Amino acid sequence: MAKIRADGTGFVSVGYIGGDGDEGVGLVSGDAFVAKVEGSCASIAGPIQRLLASKESSTPDNIALEWLPDVAASGYNIWYVTRKEDVPLARQTSSPPAIAVSGCAVPAPAAGLSCTDIGAVSRSPSLPFFYQARAYCDATTEGP
């Protein structure tokens, strides 16, 4: 990073910010602000907010899901369970009873802020589904 004199004749300050992996180093002169964010996705991701589920009007056998973003997530895992008391278990490490929504959880997490549970309504008409969205961190880790 460099700050150049207004007349273009040289530098006011010059610095280097870099590193590799999770470690960053900085060397800066002049006025500067350097920040290092530490922690893994799983430790800084929050619970996914405002998960909404509704029947699709064009295909009423499908359930459309959408949610608010989490800046720590590199994708989203969407799970469902058939008993309300199992909602806390709707996660990667608890499968079963957690069931991944196809195309919306590992190995293919949802990349955006929506996904469709195709054929959900007719899959098990006598059982309710309780959905849970979690921040996808990597193939073995997800947020709270």
Supply the CATH number for residue 135's domain: 2.60.40.10
78 confidence band (pLDDT: 50, 70, 90): very high
Regarding whether 119 and 63 lie in a shared domain, the answer is yes
Regarding whether 62 and 5 lie in a shared domain, the answer is no
- State the total domains in the chain: 2
Regarding whether 26 and 47 lie in a shared domain, the answer is no
Contact 115, 101 (CB under 8 A): yes
Element (H, E) at 143: none
Regarding whether 33 and 51 lie in a shared domain, the answer is no
pLDDT digits (tens, 9 = 90+) for 6-54: 666 665 655 544 444 444 444 445 555 445 445 567 677 888 999 999 9
Regarding whether 58 and 3 lie in a shared domain, the answer is no
How far is Cα 22 from Cα 40, in angstroms, rounded to an integer? 9
3-state helix/strand/coil string of 30-88: CCCCCCCCCCCHHHHCCCCCCCEEEECCCCCCCEEEECCCCCCCCEEEEEEECCHHHHH
Domain containing 57 equals: 42-142
Q: At 24, phi and psi to the nearest 5?
A: -120, 150
Regarding whether 108 and 69 lie in a shared domain, the answer is yes
141 confidence band (pLDDT: 50, 70, 90): confident
Q: What does the pLDDT average to over 94-113?
A: 91
Regarding whether 79 and 47 lie in a shared domain, the answer is yes
